[in-house]
Amino acid sequence: MDTEGIVIRIKTPAGDMDSAVDCPSLLNFNDLLVAIRDVMPEATVTAFEYEDEVGDRITVRSDEELKAMLSYYYNTMNEQRMNGLLPDPLQIFPRAGKTPGNRNIHGLKVNTRPNPANDCTQAVPDSMANNSLKKSSAELKRILTNGQISAQDINYQEQLGHGNGGTVYKAYHVLGKRVLAVKVIPLDITVELQKQIMSELEILYKCDSPYIITFFSAFFVENRISICTEFMDGGSLDVYKRIPEHVLGRIAVAVVKGLTYLWSLKILHRDVKPSNMLVNTRGQVKLCDFGVSTQLVNSIAKTYVGTNAYMAPERISGEQYGIHADVWSVGISFMELALGMFPYPQIQKNQGSLMPLQLLQCIVDEDPPVFPVGQFSEKFVHFITQCMRRQPKERPAPNDLMEHSFITQFNDGNAEVVSMWVCRCLEERRAQQGL
């Protein structure tokens, strides 16, 4: 996609709001919605529209539709240029449930083009009346420019957990007005390596799947990297007790779809395990912590020595591995989630999933574990058995996973099952804690 900067003009009842977007390819639907809501704080904006060449309004409600709008706009822009014209800004019309109340700022035109002559902070005609718009125009520009988040804009709240690499906090992003999960990892590495990690993480901006946690930004402060992602209010699956099969089935569908998406981008997850599967009260299931940055994975591994108990036998033995290794990890994770315990009884995971290599040798040497008879459906047992075949090639390929009868059976888009289950478990947990 074209990465040339563009100007987006938000048409609001109070006037036009122009904003320069330096990297349109990094822009996502949610960022734009957040920016629109900033300009129209009293309205409930859930979508916006643009006009095609014959003046028909086309609605944008997703990243995909946003991409379509941008590519339509690039075409018009090119045509205008070929005709010797300056391209018009991309005009969008927010679709609001309720229009702003008593904001009497008729005909206001704010221009935030990077050109200093048009500096937005000076172009506001009536600074008294338009203070809030002036402020949001600056905010808007920051949000739209590259969606980046900086350390000083984050208010840390509680600690969500601590893993082998770092600590995860719930946090509030003041400018973006949203809750985040921020993973902070101490790393003593050179500035060169820091730069390499940042560029390797860039691919995360392009990950766009409802089954993958949304990445917002990453930054280094001193010797720590902070990785800001979407917050999932149900947390990770490792803290849930035995999960019933009809819930587990819906979760498995999301996990398989998330992995299939990553594999289609030639990304191996490399760390599939219950603590990297997140759920929320809306019934969404998303994968996190996949290894897009080799340098980050290597730098963490230098500090935290051990082998992951969910790794496929070929990885434990140090052999080459591929997609099939992620498939093994799906099998062992779902077996644990169904049983409510790690499937190899001789492996006691106390804290985290890293173990001394010798303790995991049984995964390489022994036959994969089997389910107790009669407690689980044939389809589920078959699914797990196939995923946990010792020979990587005998495990299901991505298509076979999607087409497995256990997956197709639960591929009904019913988010309510997971949603109700998450809400009930959270309530039980609160009751136990006496909250």
Residue number, 272 or 316, with CB nearest to Mg ion: 272
Instruction: Residue 243: name its binding partner from Mg ion, ligand ATP, none (Cβ under 5 to 8 Å by kind).
Output: none
Tell me how far, at minimum, the Cβ of 160 lies from ligand ATP, in Å: 4
CB under 5 to 8 A by kind: which of Mg ion, ligand ATP, none does 429 bind?
A: none
Beta strands per DSSP E along 211-367: 215-221, 224-230, 277-279, 285-287, 307-308, 354-355
CA distance linking residue 202 with residue 199, whole number of Å: 5
Query: What's the min distance (Å) between Cβ of 326 and ligand ATP?
Result: 15
Which residues are part of a known binding site?
183
* Residues between 280 and 299 with contacts to Mg ion, criterion CB under 5 A: 289
The item of ligand ATP, Mg ion, none sharing an interface with residue 229, based on CB under 5 to 8 Å by kind, is ligand ATP
Q: How far apart are CA 75 and CA 434, in angstroms?
A: 60
Task: Give the chain's end-to-end CA distance (angstroms, integer).
Answer: 50
Q: How far is the CB of 189 from ligand ATP (least distance, A)?
A: 17
Please report whether residue 139 would count as binding Mg ion according to CB under 5 A: no
CB atoms closer than 10 angstroms to residue 63: 18
Q: How far is CA 318 from CA 164, 344, 361, 409, in A?
A: 20, 20, 12, 36
Picked from Mg ion, ligand ATP, none, the partner binding residue 164 (CB below 5 to 8 A depending on kind) is ligand ATP
Q: Which residues are annotated as a binding site for ATP?
A: 183
* Pick 94 or 147: Cβ nearer ligand ATP: 147
Active-site residues, by number, are: 271
Minimum distance, C-beta of residue 263 to Mg ion, in the bound complex (Å): 19
Q: Which residue's CB is nearer to ligand ATP, number 165 or number 343? A: 165
Closer by beta carbon to Mg ion, 198 or else 354? 354
60 or 277: CB nearest Mg ion? 277
Minimal distance, residue 165 CB to Mg ion, in Å: 8
Which residue stretch of 6-14, 156-164, 199-207, 298-306 sits at the interface with Mg ion (rule: CB under 5 A)? 156-164
Q: Which of 341, 373, 375, 334 is nearest to 249 (CA)?
A: 334
Residues that bind ligand ATP (CB under 6 A): 160-166, 168, 181, 183, 213, 229-232, 235-236, 238, 271, 275-276, 278, 288-289, 352-353
Q: Running DSSP on this structure, what letter comes out for residue 85? A: P
Q: Which residue is nearest to Mg ion (CB)?
A: 289
The β-bridge relationship of strands 90-96 and 6-12 is: parallel
Stretch that binds Mg ion, among 37-45, 123-131, 159-167, 408-416 (CB under 5 A): 159-167
Closest to Mg ion by CB, 123 vs 184, is 184
Closest CB to ligand ATP: residue number: 163
CB neighbourhood size of 311 (10 A): 24
Q: How far is the CB of 427 from Mg ion (least distance, A)?
A: 25
Residue type, 173: H
The contacts found for 350-359 with CB under 8 angstroms, 24 or more apart, are: 352/163, 352/164, 353/164, 353/273, 353/275, 353/308, 353/309, 353/310, 354/164, 354/304, 354/305, 354/306, 354/307, 354/308, 354/309, 355/306, 355/307, 355/308, 355/309, 356/306, 356/307, 357/306, 357/307, 357/316
**Cβ at position 301, least distance to Mg ion in Å:** 14
- Asked whether position 230 contacts Mg ion by CB under 5 A, the answer is no
Confirm or reject binding of residue 28 to Mg ion (CB under 5 A).
Answer: no
In the range 348-367, which residues lie near Mg ion by CB under 5 A? none
Q: What is the DSSP string of 20-76?
A: EES-GGG--HHHHHHHHHHHSTTS-EEEEEEE-TTS-EEEE-SHHHHHHHHHHHHHH
Q: Which amino acid is at 43?
A: A
Nearest to ligand ATP of 57, 302 (CB atom): 302
Based on the shown chain and the rule CB under 5 A, indicate whether residue 308 belongs to the binding site for Mg ion: no
**Residue 245, contacted partner among ligand ATP, Mg ion, none, CB below 5-8 A by kind:** none
For residue 276, state whether it binds Mg ion (rule: CB under 5 A).
Answer: yes
Give me the helices (H) in 187-293, please: 191-201, 203-206, 245-264
What distance in Å separates the CA atoms of residue 217 and residue 376, rounded to the nearest whole number? Answer: 41
List residues near Mg ion by CB under 5 A.
163, 276, 289
